[in-house]
């Protein structure tokens, strides 16, 4: 039996980000990549300083992951975003270039090929042919190291990669997630020493099905060669997900923890966050942290917050901890029930001084969205790429008239509590988690949010939703920021802050003092 021992740590790619108009694909004297840079954008600033930050990835063009090779720090869409926000009253849009290489801490990769020559990577554009990407420059280097180890395990144990046409084979996909939070290391060393939580998506119904001996053998191989007793401790834990469906959905419903630490912790937005492999997690940990820090500034101390499309509630909980949503409430609404456990674990590590009533509800934000908004000062929305559900846009567009109706009906009914009968509301209440015994203190329990914070990963859809909100005159844009969540692509993450009411006229004259 040949044993592969990973003896050397993979090094970080060293590429240049230099001020020059010439493109230099093979820099002669590489310098470390910039960690992060915030650009205050005016069209002229980007013309005057055409920094050239190239991807230098051997898989570029064959792999569908990256679409842009140069100027990673400044995707072209940033100029469009700058003009877009200017048109709607925000002339100080900023863009944070974040980390340009080795930023991806969470990757879902297809496994194809043969046991002697496995391919682990992404589909070629428009096909189901998998492109092997062992030297991906977007991946955290330890994801590439774990992929390399996995390939060796597949060959040694003779695991059959999945054959999509036949529906045969053992291993369909792998999810690799890196935790960069290890308090036993100095803070500066934590990122590069990230450990990988590996989830093997196995083509069988459960652990009793034929082929489970190979699953165990592969898991043991990974642990022996990448676990705490190996030369290079790379693997945080190994999980499996059982999936036999012939559709394109990556994960099935059965998850099993096999080896290593069960809990996976990360530290973002000022709090420790637990993320199970089944829960949504942001791929770019560093950039997400930068976004959360910016977001916190727009939430007044002591505000009540509703976090829609909340995943494991990272945004809501980070606000509860840092904005002291004291004696008020934080509500998190999420459709994926798998995120509940991660939410509960994260809450366990929140500072004991937090006094807010914190709840997580397993519910569809598009069904009766008004019921979640009532009593909150701030609404945070972080939908998937497809944007906001029509029912939510409708409520947000008509929020002022709805608020008047809600207020007057609550006065006339004189707080007579109606018995809740709607089945989806009852279901979401059953599946909810309430933290803290305090009933939230609400000055005006029937009021609706005055601040709307929209976080978007889908620029095209964001523009549509933004125009719909502004056209109603129910909201105006106050601030907007962009973050380079996906360097190498034209996708950016946007944080837009809206306030209630139409845009106030900006006049050059000084305000008259009130007498
Ligand atoms: C972009 S993620 C954001 C998650 C979270 N805010 C975070 O940053 O970790 C979008 C989330 O919306 C959830 N989602 C999608 N449709 C939903 C719906 N109709 N109602 C509630 N949640 C939904 C997804 O399951 C996913 O967790």
Give pLDDT, residue 1.
32
pLDDT given at position 510: 52
pLDDT score recorded for residue 446: 74
Give the Cα separation of 325 and 303 in Å (integer). Answer: 5
**Would you tell me which CATH number, out of the four given (2.30.30.180, 3.40.50.2000, 2.40.50.1070, 3.40.50.850), belongs to the domain 106-266?**
2.40.50.1070
Q: What is the pLDDT of residues 15-47, one digit of tens each?
A: 334 332 222 323 333 333 444 566 555 443 444
Going from N- to C-terminal start, the domains of the chain cover 106-266, 284-411+421-500
Q: Give residue 512's pLDDT band: very low, low, confident or very high (50, 70, 90).
A: low
What separation in Å is there between the alpha carbon of 427 and the centre of ligand 1?
A: 18
Strand partners, 378: 305, 451
Comparing 168 with 404, the larger pLDDT belongs to 168
Q: Which of 83-97, 169-183, 326-340 has the lowest mean pLDDT?
A: 326-340
pLDDT in the model for residue 409: 74
Q: Is the pLDDT of residue 6 over 50?
A: no
Helix (H) or strand (E) holding 292: helix 285-296
Say how far apart CA 303 and CA 345 lie, in whole Å.
23
pLDDT of residue 323: 78
Pairing of strands 171-179, 195-202: antiparallel
Cα of 311 from ligand 1 centre, angstroms: 5
SS3 381: strand
Residue scoring higher pLDDT (504 or 305): 305
With 80 as the cut, is the pLDDT of residue 343 above it?
yes
- pLDDT at residue 428 in the model: 63
What mean pLDDT comes out for the span 405-419?
Answer: 64
pLDDT band per the 50, 70, 90 thresholds, residue 430: low
Best residue among 177, 280, 283, 284 to mutate for probing ligand 1, ranked by most atoms within 8 Å of CB: 280
User: Would you give the distance in Å from CA 314 to the centre of its chain?
Assistant: 9
Digit-coded pLDDT (tens) for 232-278? 999 999 999 999 998 889 999 999 999 999 999 999 999 999 999 99
Q: Which residue among 53, 66, 457, 466 is the active-site one? A: 457
106-266 shares its CATH topology with 284-411+421-500: no
User: Annotation-wise, does 334 bind a ligand?
Assistant: yes
pLDDT band at residue 431, thresholds of 50, 70 and 90?
low
Residue 440 has pLDDT above 60, yes or no: no
Give the H or E element holding residue 91: none
Average pLDDT, the chain: 86
ipTM, two decimals, is 0.99
pTM of the predicted structure, to 2 decimals: 0.87
In CATH, what number does 284-411+421-500 get?
3.40.50.150
Is any ligand 1 atom within 6 A of the Cβ of residue 384?
yes
Distance 361 CA to ligand 1 centre (A): 12
């Amino acid at each position: 039996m040949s044993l592969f021992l990973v003896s050397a740590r993979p090094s970080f790619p060293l590429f240049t980000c230099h001020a020059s108009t010439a493109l230099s694909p093979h820099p002669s004297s590489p310098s470390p990549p910039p960690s992060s840079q915030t650009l205050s954008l005016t069209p002229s600033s980007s013309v005057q300083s055409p920094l050239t930050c190239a991807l230098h990835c051997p898989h570029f063009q064959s792999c569908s992951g990256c679409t842009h090779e140069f100027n990673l720090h400044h995707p072209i869409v940033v100029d469009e975003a700058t003009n877009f926000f200017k048109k709607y009253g925000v002339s100080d849009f900023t863009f944070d270039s974040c980390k340009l290489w080795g930023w991806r801490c969470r990757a879902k990769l297809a496994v194809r090929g043969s046991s002697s020559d496995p391919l682990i990577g992404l589909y070629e554009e428009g096909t189901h042919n998998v492109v092997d990407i062992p030297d991906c420059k977007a991946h955290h280097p330890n994801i590439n190291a774990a992929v390399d180890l996995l390939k060796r395990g597949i060959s040694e144990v003779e695991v059959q990669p999945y054959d999509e046409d036949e529906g045969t084979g053992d291993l369909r996909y792998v999810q690799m997630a890196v935790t960069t939070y290890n308090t036993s290391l100095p803070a500066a060393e934590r990122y590069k020493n990230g450990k990988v939580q590996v989830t093997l998506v196995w083509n069988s119904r459960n652990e009793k099905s034929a082929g489970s001996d190979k699953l165990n053998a592969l898991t043991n191989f990974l642990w022996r060669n990448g676990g705490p007793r190996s030369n290079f401790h790379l693997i945080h834990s190994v999980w499996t997900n059982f999936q036999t469906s012939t559709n394109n959905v990556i994960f099935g419903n059965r998850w099993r923890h096999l080896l290593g630490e069960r809990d996976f912790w990360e530290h973002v937005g000022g709090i420790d966050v637990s993320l199970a492999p089944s829960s949504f997690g942001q791929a770019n940990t560093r950039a997400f942290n930068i976004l959360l820090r910016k977001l916190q500034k727009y939430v007044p101390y002591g505000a009540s917050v509703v976090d829609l499309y909340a995943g494991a509630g990272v945004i809501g909980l980070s606000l509860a901890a840092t904005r002291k949503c004291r004696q008020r409430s934080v509500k998190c609404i999420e459709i994926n029930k798998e995120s509940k456990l991660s939410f509960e674990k994260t809450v366990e590590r929140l500072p004991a001084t937090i006094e807010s009533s914190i709840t997580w509800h397993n519910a569809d934000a598009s069904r009766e969205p008004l019921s979640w908004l009532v009593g909150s000062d701030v609404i945070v929305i972080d939908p998937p790429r497809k944007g906001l559900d029509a029912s939510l846009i409708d409520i947000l567009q008509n929020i002022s008239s709805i608020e008047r109706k809600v207020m007057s009906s609550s006065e006339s009914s004189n707080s007579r509590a109606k018995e809740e009968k709607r089945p989806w509301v009852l279901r979401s209440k059953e599946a909810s988690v309430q933290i803290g015994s305090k009933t939230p203190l609400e000055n005006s329990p029937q009021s609706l949010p005055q601040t709307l914070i929209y976080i978007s990963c889908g620029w095209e859809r964001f523009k549509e939703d933004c125009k719909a909100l502004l056209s109603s005159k129910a909201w105006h844009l106050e601030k907007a920021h962009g973050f380079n969540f996906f360097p190498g692509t034209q996708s950016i993450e946007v944080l837009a802050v809206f306030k209630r009411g139409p845009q106030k006229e900006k006049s050059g004259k000084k305000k008259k003092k009130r007498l």
